[in-house]
Chain A
Amino acid sequence: MQAIFANLALGFQTAFSWTNILWVFIGGTLGTIIGMLPGLGPATGVAILIPITFGMNPATALITMAAVYYGAMFGGSRASIMINTPGDASAIVSCFDGYPMTRQGKAGTALAISAIASFIGGMIGMLFLVFLTQPIAAAALKFGPAEMFSLMLFALVATITLSEGNLLKGALAICIGLMLSTVGIDALTGIVRFTYGMTALNDGIDFLVVIIGVYAVTEVYKNYKAIDAKYSFDSKHIGKVRVSWPEFKRSLWPMLRSSPLGFVIGVLPGMGGTIATFMSYAMEKNISKHPEEFGKGAIEGLAAPEAANNACSCGAMVPLLTLGIPGSGTTAVMLGALMLLGVKPGPTLFTDHPEIAWGVIASMLIGNIILIIINLPLAVPLVQLLRVPQRIMLPLILGLALIGAYFLNYSSSDLILVMISGVVGYIFVILGIPLPPLVLALILGETTETTLRNSLVLSDGNISIFFQKPISAVFIALAAISLVYALIRNKRNQSAA
C-alpha cells in the first residue's frame, strides 16, 4: 500500500508540471471536440493528433493522448443529447434518454449530468487503475515466452469472442492482421518475407500508417454518404447547465454502480465503451422502480452509461500499461504512438519508466477536473461547434490524417499505404469484417510470432510447453472458455431468431 502511494506521489510530480497540465487541457479540449463530432470517435481523435506528440517526452505524449481519449468520452454524448446523433458508437445509448430530455427543454440538465457522470466514472476508474496496475505488472514481469504467447493468444481470441458480430469474420480479420505483421525482414533470421519484390516493404508495414488509414480515412469515407448533413438545434432552449439536488440524488447510485461495471468491461480485450454503455443501461432499467420512464428522458438512463463509459476508458488503460496489450482501437493507436517515441508499454514500463506509467495515471485526476470545468460552464459554447457542417470537417480530418501519416517516416510510400488502407477498410466495413481485431493482430503479430518461436526453441519443438506452465495453461483455458461461450451465445441467438 505504501509503495502505491509513493508511486502515486512520483506520478503527481510528473503530472503537475506546467507543460503537462497545459497538454492535458489542450488534449482534453481537442478530444471533447472530436468526440462530439458525429462519426468521429476517440480512436480517430488520437490517430490524427499523433503528430502533436512528436518532440514531446514520452510521459507528456502519453498524458496528452490519454487526455484526448477521455476528453472524447466526455464529448461523445454532447451530440447525442443535442441532435440525437451519437458522436461515436459508445454514445449511442446516450441518445435514448439524453435527446428526450432535450425535447422536454432539459438539455442543460442533460449536458450537466452527462459531464458529472463522466467525471465520477473517470475518478472511480482512476482509483481502480491505481490499485490494480502494480500487482498485474509485477506478475507479468515473471512471464516467459510461453506465458506471453498464451496471453497474446487469449487477447486475440477474446477480441473476437467477446465482441458482437460474426466469429468467423473476426477470425479472418485477425488472420489478415497477423499476415500483415509478418511482412518484411524476419527479425530472428534476417529472411525477407512476403514483400513480393517491393523493397519499400522490407522494413515491414508500419501499423500506425494502417491505423491512420482505417480509423481516419475510412471514417471520412463512411461519412461521405452524409456529406450534406446539417445539424441544427435551438440554443435558447438549452437552459441552465446544472443539476438539481433531487436529480443528482436519483443519478448517484446508478453512476456508482455503473462505474465498476464499465471498468471491468474496459479491462477485457474486445469489449469497449459500446458494450459497457449498453450493459449499464440494461442493468439500470432492470433494477429501476420506474423502468417505463427509460427512453422517455429518465436522468439515470443518461447518467449510468456515461459513468460506465468513462470508467471503461480507464479500464482499457490496464492491459495497455501493464501488459502492452491494447484492448481497444484507441489504446492500440496509443501503443503505436508510444512505440514511435521509443517506449514499449508493458510490465517493464513500471520498473524502467515509473514516471511515465504513474504520471499518466496521476494526470487522469487533473484531466477529469479540467474536463468537468470545460464541460460544465463551457458546455453551451462548445456545442455550437456541432453546427460546423460535415462538408468542412471531413476535408480537415483527411488533411490531418495524411500529413500525420507522412510525418511518421517522411515517406511517400506511407501516403500510398494510408490511402489503400482507407479504401480496403471501407470495403471491409461493407462486408462486415471488423477492423479492431485486424489492427490488434497487426500490432501484436510480431510479439506473438517471436514468443511462439522462442518457446518452441526452448522446448525443442514440443508444443506441450504451453500446457505445462501453469500460467500459460490458464490463458489457453481462458481462450478456450471464451470461444465456447461465444459459440453457445451464437447458437442461442440463432435459435432465438
Chain B
Amino acid sequence: MIWARQRELAWSVFCNSGKGCAGGTCMTTNFLTGIIGILIGGIYLITALQLPQMKMGDRLGPKLFPAVVGIAAIIAGLALIIQDKRPGKASKKADFGFVEYKHVWIKISLTTAVGILFGVFIDSLGFVLATSLFMLFATSLINKGRHIQNIVISILFAVITYGVFGLALKLSLPRGIIENILPF
C-alpha cells in the first residue's frame, strides 16, 4: 500500500512543474534526496529485520536501533518528496553538471580510480614508488603540461613523507624495491 502510494507520488512529481523546476519532467534535488533516503532506509530496514532475534537479556537489542533508524530515513525521504510536491515548493533541478563540468567529473573519476589502485599496489610496490606514481598521476591530472615540475613534486613528496613518517616518526611503511636498496 505504502509502496503504491509512493510510486504514485513519484510519478506525479516527475510530471510536476514547480517554481524551481519549470518545464515539466525533471528531477529536483529534494526529490532525488528523498528517493535516496527511501532506498537506503528500505534496504537497511529489510536487512535489520532479518537479524536473528535474541532469546534472552537484551532481546530486541541488535534489531531495535537499526529498525528505528531505517524507518526514520524512510520517513525523512518521504517527507522530502511530499514537501517538494506541494505547489510552488519544488526545489531546484538536480544538476550534477555532467555536461557543463564534464572535465571535472572526468578528473574526479580518474582520481578516484587511481586512489583505489594506489591502495591495491602500495603493499607490493613499497611506499616510495607507489606514492611517487600516485602523485605523478595526480599532479599530471591537476597541473597539466608541466612535466618536470610534476616529476619533481611527486618524488619530493614521496621522499619527504617517507623521511618524516618512516624515518623520523618510525611508522612501519610498506617496503618495496626502493626501500630495500636503502641502508636504513
Chain A residues with CB under 8 Å of chain B are 51-52, 54-55, 166, 168-169, 171-172, 175-176, 178-179, 182, 186, 188-189, 191, 193-194, 196, 217, 220-221, 224-225, 227, 389, 391-392, 394-396, 398-400, 402-403, 406-407, 410, 412-416, 418-420, 422-423, 426-427, 430-433, 448-449, 452-453, 456-457, 461
Binds A, one of B1-9, B10-18, B26-34, B176-184: B26-34
- 13 A-B residue pairs with CB within 8 Å: A54-B169, A175-B76, A179-B40, A188-B61, A224-B104, A227-B142, A391-B143, A395-B142, A398-B138, A403-B165, A452-B65, A456-B58, A457-B57
* Consensus secondary structure, chain B interface: helix
How many residues of chain B get a CB closer than 8 Å to chain A's CBs?
Answer: 67
What is the bound-complex CA distance between A143 and B60, given in angstroms? 24
What is the bound-complex CA distance between A406 and B116, given in angstroms? 11
Q: Please, which residue of chain B has its CB at the minimum distance from the CB of A407?
A: B171
A445 to chain B, nearest CB (A): 9
Contact of B80 (CB < 8 Å), options: A169, A186, A227: A169
Q: Knowing A54-B169, A194-B47, A419-B115 touch, does A432 contact B108 (C-beta < 8 A)?
A: no
Q: Knowing A193-B51, A194-B47, A453-B58 touch, does A419 contact B112 (C-beta < 8 A)?
A: yes
- On chain A, the residues within 8 Å of B41 by CB distance are 175
- Assess the B165–A166 pair: CB atoms within 8 A: no
What is the bound-complex CA distance between A204 and B122, given in angstroms? 23
- Assess the B65–A182 pair: CB atoms within 8 A: yes
- On chain A, the residues within 8 Å of B30 by CB distance are 166, 168-169, 432
- The list of the 10 closest CB pairs from A to B, nearest first, reads A415-B119, A175-B73, A419-B115, A412-B119, A395-B138, A391-B143, A449-B65, A172-B76, A171-B76, A395-B139
Among B48, B118, B172, which residue has the most Cβ atoms of chain A within 10 A? B118
Q: Knowing A395-B153, A399-B131, A432-B29 touch, does A457 contact B37 (C-beta < 8 A)?
A: no
- Assess the A188–B58 pair: CB atoms within 8 A: yes
- Assess the A406–B40 pair: CB atoms within 8 A: no
* Consensus secondary structure, chain A interface: helix
- On chain B, the residues within 8 Å of A419 by CB distance are 111-112, 115-116, 119
What is the bound-complex CA distance between A406 and B172, given in angstroms? 12
Provide the B105-127 mask, 1 if CB < 8 A to any CB of A, else 0: 00110011001101110110000
| B167 contacts the other chain (CB 8 A) | no
Q: Knowing A191-B52, A456-B60 touch, does A403 contact B161 (C-beta < 8 A)?
A: yes
Q: Knowing A175-B72, A392-B153, A412-B119 touch, does A193 contact B101 (C-beta < 8 A)?
A: no
- Assess the A54–B171 pair: CB atoms within 8 A: yes
What is the bound-complex CA distance between A448 and B69, given in angstroms? 12
- On chain B, the residues within 8 Å of A389 by CB distance are 143
Q: Please, which residue of chain B has its CB at the minimum distance from the CB of A53?
A: B169
Contact of A171 (CB < 8 Å), options: B36, B47, B72, B101: B72
Contact of A224 (CB < 8 Å), options: B64, B107, B161: B107
What is the bound-complex CA distance between A453 and B62, given in angstroms? 9
- Assess the B80–A168 pair: CB atoms within 8 A: yes
Contact of A402 (CB < 8 Å), options: B60, B61, B101, B115: B115
What is the bound-complex CA distance between A431 and B142, given in angstroms? 25
Q: Knowing A224-B104, A432-B33 touch, does A453 contact B44 (C-beta < 8 A)?
A: no
What is the bound-complex CA distance between A146 and B111, given in angstroms? 45
- On chain A, the residues within 8 Å of B40 by CB distance are 176, 179
- Assess the B112–A423 pair: CB atoms within 8 A: yes
What is the bound-complex CA distance between A40 and B79, given in angstroms? 34
Contact of B111 (CB < 8 Å), options: A194, A398, A453: A398
- Assess the A403–B131 pair: CB atoms within 8 A: yes
What is the bound-complex CA distance between A385 and B79, given in angstroms? 47
Q: Please, which residue of chain A has its CB at the minimum distance from the CB of B83?
A: A168
- On chain A, the residues within 8 Å of B97 by CB distance are 430
Provide the B36-78 mask, 1 if CB < 8 A to any CB of A, else 0: 1100110010011001101001101110111001101100110
- On chain B, the residues within 8 Å of A221 by CB distance are 104, 108, 111
What is the bound-complex CA distance between A391 and B143, given in angstroms? 5
- Assess the B62–A186 pair: CB atoms within 8 A: yes
What is the bound-complex CA distance between A193 and B51, given in angstroms? 7
Contact of B169 (CB < 8 Å), options: A55, A168, A430: A55
Q: Please, which residue of chain B has its CB at the minimum distance from the CB of A423?
A: B112
- On chain B, the residues within 8 Å of A395 by CB distance are 135, 138-139, 141-143, 153
Q: Knowing A168-B80, A179-B69, A399-B131 touch, does A193 contact B62 (C-beta < 8 A)?
A: yes
- On chain B, the residues within 8 Å of A400 by CB distance are 161
What is the bound-complex CA distance between A246 and B77, given in angstroms? 56
A449 to chain B, nearest CB (A): 4
- Assess the A453–B51 pair: CB atoms within 8 A: no
Other A-B contacts than A392-B143, A430-B29, 6 sampled, CB-CB below 8 A, are: A224-B107, A392-B153, A415-B122, A431-B32, A453-B64, A456-B64
What is the bound-complex CA distance between A391 and B141, given in angstroms? 9
What is the bound-complex CA distance between A400 and B72, given in angstroms? 37
What is the bound-complex CA distance between A432 and B30, given in angstroms? 8
A208 to chain B, nearest CB (A): 15
A402 to chain B, nearest CB (A): 6
Contact of B62 (CB < 8 Å), options: A54, A175, A188, A431: A188
- Assess the B64–A189 pair: CB atoms within 8 A: no
What is the bound-complex CA distance between A466 and B140, given in angstroms? 57
- On chain A, the residues within 8 Å of B101 by CB distance are 225
Q: Please, which residue of chain B has its CB at the minimum distance from the CB of A418?
A: B115
What is the bound-complex CA distance between A130 and B44, given in angstroms? 44
B56 to chain A, nearest CB (A): 11
- Assess the B171–A178 pair: CB atoms within 8 A: no
- On chain B, the residues within 8 Å of A169 by CB distance are 30, 33, 76, 80
Contact of A175 (CB < 8 Å), options: B37, B52, B157: B37
